[in-house]
Structure 1
Amino acid sequence: MYKMKYTNQTDDVYGIKAAGSKKKTFVLWREVVMAYAAPAIMAGIGGLVTADRSLQIGALTTIGGASALMALMIGLLLRSRVGHIRWVIGAPHLVVVGVFALAGSSFGLCAAWMTSGLLEFMIPSNHLAWVGRVWIDFPLSGFLASTIVTWRWRLAATTNFSSKRRRKK
């Protein structure tokens, strides 16, 4: 008889490490999926509890969509050269997360301003009830998504950076 070596193929595909492993990986598509799903589910539950139909619809459209888009943009930004800038790696964790959270909420506010202004110019506002929601949904989604993605990226970056530094010594 032969012995079959057990290998878990999901370790390689998804970057999942053993329970005791200290190496953390940052996978952008997982962050984007979670950035859509988490706020959409929570807002959907809130819409069900309060029987607010606009919140239920907003959970799947403006809230989840804006969060996913912001997570994608921030993740791509951090994986590019911006993530290798000295102050992003060297500054305290909370400072980096705070700067990106402010940038995310500011971008969400600009997106809400552009969306509401453009849509009211093109389509009368009485036909689109969700346009009034973007003033809350976009900045809040931008803040939450950029905070979470930056926090998780920074944990992975400092873990990988410190493990590389230890190997060089």
Structure 2
Amino acid sequence: MVLTSSDVTVGQFCTSSCGFHSTVLMPAGKRVVMVHVGDPGTQCPGLCAWPYAAPEYGPPGPTLVAPNGVGVDGTVINIATVIAGAVTNPFRDGYYQGDRLAPLEVATACAGIFGEGAYPGNPGNLLIDEKSEASFNAFGAGGRRFLLPAIWEPISGKCKVVA
């Protein structure tokens, strides 16, 4: 996993994606899956840290309070999205829909959906921290709060959110 800081520019980041996965051919001839996510907090929060930042495009709506800061929480959302794609479609011949060079993967199929009742411009019903008013849908180590994207569940044909 490659995470880059706000002073590092990566070609695809903020233009066509908020992160990506690919493979690297190692000297022994073995392919290794790698993922990249940049810092959305300063480079492109409206594209890659929604719903914690005002959307660059699409319907306007209120921004949510990020439990760990816009950059950190935007990065967590993007890491979860890219890892879900890397696990289900690591070599571009796994689980995806559409063109294999621009696949619609398990998390990108559910873009913008974080809770039940989501629709464009509204991430859905989320948990809210009483003290900070931060919105989230998952708990991590030490009681940390995070927002994880929904993923496509092919048997039901629906986006499944963290429960």
The TM-score by the shorter chain falls in which range?
Answer: 0.3 to 0.5
Larger radius of gyration: 1
More helix by share: 1
More strand by share: 2
TM-score normalised by L of structure 1: 0.33
TM-score normalised by L of structure 2: 0.34
